[in-house]
Amino acid sequence: MIDEHKRILLVIPHEDDGEGGCGGSVARWALNGADITFLLCTNGDKGTSELEMTSKRLANIRQKEQLAAARVLGVKQVSFMGYPDGELEDEIWAREYIVREIRKHKPSLVMCIDPFRSKRHAHRDHRISGLLALDAVFTYSWSETYFPDQIQRDGLEAHRVSEVYLWSSENPDMCVDIGDTMELKAEALAAHASQMKEPDKILQRTIDRARAVGKDFGVSHAESFRRVIVHKTLSHWAEY
């Protein structure tokens, strides 16, 4: 299934989280012809230790950096939900926004951060973005009874996503070989210059991490995920 998905949507809490979690996989699939959309939940306006930086200026900078990183990876669409950093809520408005993007882009694969962790605490926006994405996939986006205005008034169709890959998971059960796209991942991460106090160290850490994950799965560099099957397709039936 790994390279089968031709339409993919990522639900990302902050600018740079997508590149760090799955930039190599995204680049691999984009090179393979996939149509990929990034959906950014917050504007990342707290990601600084510079006292003279304003939230508005930082949000602006981060949006530009995100667009540049997406270009490096070959991502075709980037959508900004616009919550302030740290203020994402598990609420109907956010769910409706994600469902609209799913119904608009019709991905077979959705990716998000694993919201269920017990050993290492995660940023609130990370947890909530994962919960929102999973709930949007099942059942809101495929049931016409949720957000019927999107269908009756705006002409969208209910849509079934077939699976979700969760990154930052404590229980990964699959990996994507990113040996050929490790450099693109590093280049995309480097585009987030406002978050790179010591770029060389951060990039080296990213490469080392991909190498360690790769070792676990028997390839040179990899990103790992927990896979959740939502709607079984013919390939799933063949696999099990």
Residue nearest to Zn ion (CB): 14
Task: Tell me the window of 2-10, 17-25, 64-72, 146-154 that interacts with Zn ion (CB under 5 A).
Answer: 17-25
Q: Which residue, 2 or 53, is less far from Zn ion as judged by CB? A: 53
Task: Tell me the window of 6-14, 114-122, 139-147, 182-190 that interacts with Zn ion (CB under 5 A).
Answer: 6-14
Helix (H, G, I), strand (E, B) or coil at 234: helix
Question: What single-letter DSSP state applies at residue 93?
Answer: H
Task: Tell me the window of 11-19, 129-137, 177-185, 216-224 that interacts with Zn ion (CB under 5 A).
Answer: 11-19
For the CB of residue 3, give the shortest distance to Zn ion in the complex, in Å: 27
Residue with tokens 């013919």: 234
Question: Measured between alpha carbons, how far is 4 from 233 in angstroms, rounded to an integer?
Answer: 11
Residue ranges in 33-62 that form contacts with Zn ion under rule CB under 5 A: none
Residue with tokens 């070792």: 215
For the CB of residue 44, give the shortest distance to Zn ion in the complex, in Å: 8
Which residue type sits at 25? S
Query: For the stretch 25-53, what's the b/e string if a residue is b when 16 or more beta carbons lie within 10 angstroms of its beta carbon?
Result: bbbbbbeeebbbbbbbbbbbbebbeeeee
Structure tokens, 33: 């012809």
Q: Which residue, 89 or 144, is less far from Zn ion as judged by CB? A: 89
Q: Which residue, 82 or 148, is less far from Zn ion as judged by CB? A: 82
Asked if 14 interacts with Zn ion (CB under 5 A), we say yes
Structure tokens, 160: 């079934």
Q: Which of 8, 21, 16 is nearest to 42 (CA)?
A: 16
Q: Which of 71, 41, 59 is nearest to 187 (CA)?
A: 71
For the CB of residue 126, give the shortest distance to Zn ion in the complex, in Å: 6
How big is the site for Zn ion, counted in residues (CB under 5 A)?
Answer: 3
Q: Which residue, 13 or 24, is less far from Zn ion as judged by CB? A: 13
Asked if 17 interacts with Zn ion (CB under 5 A), we say yes
Asked if 114 interacts with Zn ion (CB under 5 A), we say no
For the CB of residue 25, give the shortest distance to Zn ion in the complex, in Å: 18
| Residue 156 backbone phi and psi in degrees, to 5 | -85, 165
The 84-103 site mask, x for binding Zn ion (CB under 5 A), equals: --------------------
Q: Which residue, 15 or 163, is less far from Zn ion as judged by CB? A: 15
Q: Beginning with the edge strand found earlier in the chain, give each strand of the sheet holding 222-229 in spatial order.
A: 77-83, 35-42, 7-12, 109-113, 163-167, 222-229, 174-177
Binding residues vs Zn ion (CB under 5 A): 13-14, 17
